[in-house]
Structure 1
């Protein structure tokens, strides 16, 4: 009998009680326990089972589940008597920052207090009996009071927030005589929101103090796990935490604990009567690499496919993609050129620093690729180590077909306009409709340059370059099936801006040259367009196309001229 697929369920207890589809990951508990690390930070892409795994840990270790051996009976961990004795034997604090997504610092601070109040509420049994003094009971209830009435005079100071989990650990230790386990899920969600919304420094100061009190100077802590997408730099929030074991996507610890292995996917397809779909599923969803394991699948996509039987981009999540989209769209021409290579299916060679320093993301070399790797959008296909420099070089590729489609959708969204269609623009470009091209691109340029203007220290001269490389990404996404599109490559006696080499002999070829208006040499944008077209001829950019047997009469030249937010196209 096929098991029921419960989509989106993140409760281990609920899945086991209802005998819903579940892939046994309890060996993760054994591996972590045997490693003996005091505080473990594990980073994995979104929707890779982090929340479900931590809930499984809570059900296994928490003394509130001491009589729930039924949840683990039949699973791998229950075969070992040692772990049967361990189940349900510790006080556990389980907390998640996944819902803390405030647009302002105050909103996020309130969200942290509300989350702490919920955590205290889960341990309200401590209020019964005499294990707490009356003063401690008032303190216990202060989080609940403020989370309900945040507009009142604030009874929760920063010191109270930063000590909250340490104090709760103390209360639990005093009640049960054992140190506590703390499991914190999605620790970096509010930090990403803080960076995106401009209150990074305020929040990191608070989070740093909270983490220091909870995970470093907490004498009532037995062991802890934090999970998230990114490894936020130690200097930002983990300063002086020498007891922290960091496990990223390049680490060889816990490689099969998150996500499904190919064997698990194959067995699941067989269970659901879908054996014949394995090759298609592999093409769409395989490709994630954790440490030395290169056969990891996104569990969200797999469970959605098992439920629906349809091959789709289930992993899409616009809110999670916003930071990545903004960084690429507003990034340098070099960054966009690297994206062109990746979208064309080629490998990117780069250095990596897995510690994400958010305030350095726009400037630090390789930072964006580290973020994309951590988020699961890219995978490492190879690497080498230079003995002389002591540095690693990594070779990255887009993870799989589903991820490729997500990038394409993200780039298409850059060019969405209320009254016009980018698809129509591409048709106009191929048909030589200059009126439509000018109308559409003027709107897009205005919108795009305005977004650059909101960034830090925008450069008037850099904007056209950033714009046209973003524009090339849009062409690559939608015309890759008809054209081999390249930019900034040598041909003839110089480097062209964009070349479109047709894959069919029936299609024309195109060369696009972009120029910024020069008031010392040109009277208007019309002259700038003509200078762009003359440059194509003088430097013989057609040479590469002619070498590919494209007739001269099938090569079309376009000149794009920029003056601030004005654009003019001619041919």
Structure 2
């Protein structure tokens, strides 16, 4: 059996720098990341289920835009990037912002204060959050001479948690005010990337940033998060061999079991490459056990707002059909349970005919 003692799997680690510096295994997505950063649109939104690697992707983009070339040695991007321009990066992690207007304002106030200190900016006491965000974008551009990269992770977290509560409208009002600056400051921005699970189209970023390109269904980005079968077989052979040995399986039987448990996600009808849930796969290979890691890691708070008695009713949604106009553009608050179950990872694309997506349980 292949030795696995010296290999480290990044269980629960979302820092690209830590993964690279501490010698954890990294599934190389840097060729797709470079294409997104250099050849893609300027304003991008990517929806993927929770625990699918969005935060590692955002962290990798931050390392790239801040010019940390040393972290990328040996990866595919080294054949593609020649300049390694160091840019200012403004990064917001909205999963830390709570679900009430006070906690949302507090988070933005604290993160803006950090950037103001970094760029020696002194806001006026009367400045709004939007004024301060604008001053940070403009100030970082003027001080460095480089356009800014803006990365917003889990943008929908406060909106998810506040939906159907008295706090929701106040939270969306803050979003409309603050993030309208992104469109106004276009000339200072090189790249804007926003991740989330669900879309709140009319009430947040999507209404103030109508030039935001939804790349969630684009074929070239189908595998930007998650792990493909090809990557599993290329990068995890020692761990698969160990799993097989522990359970008395052949190597191929172990792959078949992993596939049955964790594979089957599709994110583009034009590129139906099978995607493994990365959180479950890496945990299973680290433990050499097949368990229900993802569902037991904490369901999103929106589920009960859509589906009563979730486990009983999930089978009812297998073999669902949704129009492409709904799944690709609709607001989650008006798209029905099927749309949310797709966006949150309980359903996936099984087929597509004449503008209609067919959805089903992935694995």
Q: TM-score, normalised by structure 2?
A: 0.86
The match for 1:38 is 42
The answer to whether 1:308 aligns with 2:287 is yes
Distance apart, 1:206 and its partner CA: 1.3
Q: Deviations over 1:513-535 (max 9, x none)?
A: xxxxxxxxxxxxxxxxxxxxxxx
The match for 2:97 is 100
2:349 to 377, 380, 395: 380
The match for 1:287 is 264
The match for 1:191 is 159
Note the residue ranges of structure 1 that are not aligned, 5 or more in a row: 128-135, 143-154, 386-391, 401-571
The match for 2:316 is 341
The match for 1:367 is 336
Change (3 A) 1:231 1:39: same
CA distance in 2, matches of 1:15, 1:338: 39
Distance apart, 1:320 and its partner CA: 3.7
Q: Deviations over 1:74-128 (max 9, x none)?
A: 1001123xx131x2422222221121223x322332233233334445xx2x33x
The match for 2:79 is 79
The answer to whether 1:270 aligns with 2:247 is no
CA distance in 2, matches of 1:176, 1:379: 43
Structure number, greater radius of gyration: 1
CA distance in 2, matches of 1:353, 1:4: 38
CA distance in 2, matches of 1:216, 1:367: 33
**Structure 2 SS opposite 1:301:** helix
Q: Deviations over 1:283-305 (max 9, x none)?
A: 00001101123310111111111
**Structure 1 SS opposite 2:90:** strand
**Structure 2 SS opposite 1:383:** strand
Residue correspondences, number? 345
Asked whether the 8 Å contact 1:169–1:220 carries over to 2, the reply is: yes
The match for 2:111 is 115
Alignment of 1:29-428 (within 5 A): 29-62=33-66, 66=67, 68-80=68-80, 83-85=81-83, 87-102=84-99, 104-120=100-116, 124=118, 126-127=119-120, 136-137=121-122, 139=123, 155=125, 160-234=128-202, 236-239=204-207, 241-248=209-216, 250-272=217-239, 273-274=241-242, 275-276=251-252, 277-291=254-268, 292-316=271-295, 320-329=299-308, 339-342=314-317, 346-351=318-323, 352-357=326-331, 361=333, 364=334, 366-385=335-354, 392-400=355-363
Asked whether the 8 Å contact 1:51–1:185 carries over to 2, the reply is: yes
Q: Deviations over 1:318-356 (max 9, x none)?
A: 65433213321189xxxx9974434xxx51234334445
Asked whether the 8 Å contact 1:300–1:315 carries over to 2, the reply is: yes
The answer to whether 1:15 aligns with 2:19 is yes
Distance apart, 1:240 and its partner CA: 5.0
**Structure 1 SS opposite 2:187:** coil
Change (3 A) 1:21 1:109: same
Higher relative contact order at CA 8 Å, sep ≥6: structure 1 or structure 2? 2
Asked whether the 8 Å contact 1:288–1:298 carries over to 2, the reply is: yes
Q: Deviations over 1:374-415 (max 9, x none)?
A: 111101212222xxxxxx333211121xxxxxxxxxxxxxxx
Distance apart, 1:20 and its partner CA: 1.0
Asked whether the 8 Å contact 1:377–1:398 carries over to 2, the reply is: yes
Q: Deviations over 1:410-455 (max 9, x none)?
A: xxxxxxxxxxxxxxxxxxxxxxxxxxxxxxxxxxxxxxxxxxxxxx
Return the structure number with greater strand share.
1
CA distance in 2, matches of 1:58, 1:88: 12
CA distance in 2, matches of 1:253, 1:120: 37
Note the residue ranges of structure 2 that are not aligned, 5 or more in a row: 243-250
CA distance in 2, matches of 1:234, 1:27: 34
Distance apart, 1:164 and its partner CA: 2.8
Asked whether the 8 Å contact 2:65–2:86 carries over to 1, the reply is: yes
Asked whether the 8 Å contact 1:216–1:241 carries over to 2, the reply is: no
CA distance in 2, matches of 1:19, 1:178: 32
Asked whether the 8 Å contact 1:100–1:111 carries over to 2, the reply is: yes
